[in-house]
Amino acid sequence: MYTEKEHLPTWPLAIALALATPHSLAATAEVTADQVVSALEGTFGAHAAERRNHIKGSCAKGEFIGTPVARDYTRSALFSGKSVPVVARFSLAGGNPKVPDTTKIARGMALEFRLPGGKLQHMTMLNTPMFGASTPQTFFDDIVSKKPDPATGKPDPEKIKAFKASHPDSLPQAEYLDKHNPPVSWANSSYYGIHTFKFVNRANKTTLVRWRFVPQDGDKRLSDDELKSSPPNFLEQRLIDRVKQGPVRWDMILAIGIPGDPEDNPTVLWPSNRKEVKIGTLTITSATPQTGAECEKINFDPLVMADGIEPTNDPVLLFRSPAYAISFGKRLGGK
């Protein structure tokens, strides 16, 4: 069994990886991870021993089985064809633990794959095909713009308007969320890797890839009427009830990049005609509230990678690791 102690060495190693990357954080970030975490606390409050972002969530467990075609692109043990245990967490973006499930914000699916030999592979995804910031600075400015006005207790609409006008890279995701109602269930949503990654095969050939997980139950969204009438906390119980009926599955779809495709900007989509292959199936067999469950204390750092999968120089991807580590350290310290 994996314990919290086994996760402790993970995040310092991930920081080292991020700092060792050629385009280091010092060269790409105008803000620090500390500043971003402090901004999240300033906007949403600091909730003791809780995540600073994606605070509201549910735990799940299951398995992943890769397909042989994946081995053309990566030597990762994730695609051995054998069952790999998975701990999952589904969540809503932001640091408000009481955010209604009907809110038009991003949803997340985080996965920890437990590979042979105690090795781990993490994937942290959103239900939007793009991210809302091309740099850590944009993400920071977005959070700051949403800080409640002391006089009203609510964000200042003018500050949010000014942020959008000055940060065009934030608009694609905002427009997507505005045009698409939230999913009816965690089980009825696709989840996108957002970033570009590198797959490395046994011949050391590197392929740029993006991935997404597509629900076999189908993508289904709340109607406008359901958006108004649904209770504030339906997602967790709906997933628990669905799993009781039988396993919930997603197909992992890999998009194959070509030279010139953007690899360091998660706000820009690849052309829709890129070659795609199914490289595995995720199966969820149990779901529970997160309090006391296995996913609760896992730091789902996206730079925790096993051999055969590597990061690109995406500044947002590289920034996530140290930011997660600071939040994780505060959680472990009960802050």
Give the DSSP letter string of 89-139. EEEESSS-TT--TTSSS-EEEEEEEE-GGG-EEEEEEESSSS-S-SSHHHH
Average pLDDT over every residue of 78-87: 98
Indicate if the pLDDT at residue 291 is higher than 90: yes
Q: What percent of the chain is modeled with pLDDT above 90?
A: 90
Indicate if the pLDDT at residue 121 is higher than 60: yes
Annotated catalytic sites, by residue?
Answer: 54
pLDDT band of residue 21 (cuts 50, 70, 90) is very low
Quick one: which H or E segment has residue 322?
Answer: helix 315-332
Is 14 strand, coil or helix?
helix
198 to 54, 75, 110, 210, 285: CA distances (angstroms): 26, 11, 19, 9, 30
Indicate if the pLDDT at residue 9 is higher than 70: no
Indicate if the pLDDT at residue 170 is higher than 60: yes
pLDDT per position as a tens digit, 212-263: 999 999 999 999 999 999 999 999 999 999 999 999 999 999 999 999 999 9
Average pLDDT over every residue of 294-304: 97
How far apart are the C-alpha atoms of 7 and 69, rounded to whole Å?
A: 31
For 180, phi then psi, to 5°, come to: -120, 120
Average pLDDT over every residue of 138-151: 96
Both structure tokens of 120: 């781990």
What is the per-residue pLDDT for 13? 41
What is the per-residue pLDDT for 5? 33
Average pLDDT over every residue of 283-293: 97
Quick one: which H or E segment has residue 213?
Answer: strand 206-215
Indicate if the pLDDT at residue 311 is higher than 90: yes
Average pLDDT over every residue of 306-334: 96
What is the per-residue pLDDT for 30? 83
Name the residue ranges covered by the structural domains of the chain.
Answer: 4-332
> Higher pLDDT residue, 116 or 24?
116
Indicate if the pLDDT at residue 184 is higher than 70: yes
What is the per-residue pLDDT for 24? 37
How high does pLDDT run on average in the chain? Answer: 92
Q: Residues of 67-92 as b/e, b for ≥16 C-beta within 10 angstroms?
A: beebbbbbbbbbbbeeebebbbbbbb
Q: Which is the CATH superfamily of the domain at 4-332?
A: Catalase core domain (2.40.180.10)
pLDDT band of residue 206 (cuts 50, 70, 90) is very high
Q: 295: left (phi > 0), else alpha (psi -120 to 50), else beta?
A: alpha
How far apart are the C-alpha atoms of 221 and 215, rounded to whole Å?
A: 13
